[in-house]
Amino acid sequence: MLAFVRSARCLTVAVFGFAALVCAGLARAQSPAGPQAVPDPDKPFMDAYRSVQPITTWPLKTILHEIPELKGLRAAAGQSELAGTVAQVAANLQVFWKEFQNTSSLETIQESRQLTNSPFSDPDRAVQQFRYLMLTNPNNPLEIREYRTDLQGRERESEQAVSGFLRTSGFTSLPLVFGPGEQPLTDYRDLGSQVLRHHSCRVIAFAQHVDAAAASRWTIEGEKIPVLVQGVAWIDPAGGQVLQMRTDLLAPQPRVGLRRATTVVTFAPVQFHNKRGVFWLPLDVTVTVDLDKYTFVNRHTYSDYQVFTVVTS
């Protein structure tokens, strides 16, 4: 049984939206136990991150090849606009977290699983619907708790993955990689401008530092591994709003069979009835994970956003 479960630090996986994963019904070979305990269990994973160059250092030609969503990018002449753009996003995030409402939406998940080396085989598929809840934490203004219920409002078993599939979640807070707390642990690079959904956007690449303080935690087969990411954000300079983001692993982790984890999120404006302000929330999400011999693709769509009120008696 292979499972991705939340550890104490894995709460931050949900906070930053880096695709918290739950997996059910997959068998995997176990590595033989060594004669001695490893002094630093994180070292092999952190070494893998240190062995690669982050996206913020890549030649632009390589970035365009690796990120197909950047077709049509106009390259930046320099980095003079970078600091102002990052600061604008951070200020916008502070307003978002201050005014955010407890929210529910209708979530549809289309899931597929296919053998990675058999691209022409028919994938296994599953489709599910949930009420997706995003609730603020009164004790932590930078935390949104995201979880599911069934369409009748029952939470039990809603977070259990269908046998053999992955369950992915935690996308609303993904832009927090630009927040004040994350900026000292993240590198940024202005790639240029690109038109996205009729908006002329600044395109900013980002990469987390190889630092334990920056890492989220995923648990695979009982082994907690540090997860660091890099990616690209499309930002509307008129209001500092993130319109789209893509995140990838900073480096593959072959030790646990995790070769890829790519998340692409599109945000859209939501205006709640009788509520002031507009909130940019996930509209659709595609998560692609290469794990062991399988490729998993989860497509999430969100609609029917409503303010969610909890009543107790």
Count of domains in the chain?
1
List the pLDDT tens digit at each of the 313 positions of the chain: 233 332 322 322 322 344 455 444 444 444 455 556 547 889 999 999 999 999 999 999 999 999 999 999 999 999 999 999 999 999 999 888 888 888 999 999 999 999 988 878 888 999 999 999 988 877 776 778 888 888 887 775 555 667 778 878 889 889 999 999 999 999 999 999 999 988 899 999 999 999 999 998 887 767 789 999 999 999 998 889 999 999 999 999 999 999 999 999 999 999 887 667 788 999 999 999 999 999 999 999 999 998 876 554 4
Answer whether residue 45 is part of any domain.
Answer: no
Q: What's the pLDDT score for residue 7?
A: 30
Specify the long-range contacts of residues 45-53, CB closer than 8 Å, at least 24 apart. Answer: 45/225, 45/226, 45/253, 45/255, 46/210, 46/212, 46/226, 48/251, 48/252, 48/253, 48/254, 48/255, 49/210, 49/228, 49/250, 49/251, 50/210, 51/251, 52/250, 52/251
Residue at 41 is within a domain: no
Reported residue count of the chain is: 313
* Partners of residue 122 on adjacent β-strands: none
The range of the structural domain enclosing residue 74 comes to: 4-28+54-301
Compute how many other C-beta atoms are within 10 angstroms of the C-beta atom of residue 177: 28
Domain assignment present for residue 37? The answer is: no
| 107 beta partners | 130, 302
* Confidence at residue 167, expressed as pLDDT on a 0 to 100 scale: 78
Q: What is the pLDDT of residue 16?
A: 39
In a domain, 48, yes or no: no
| Residue at 39 is within a domain | no
User: What is residue 194's predicted lDDT score, i.e. its pLDDT?
Assistant: 97
- Specify if 34 maps to a domain: no
pTM of the full structure: 0.85
In a domain, residue 38? The reply is no
Domain contains 254 = yes
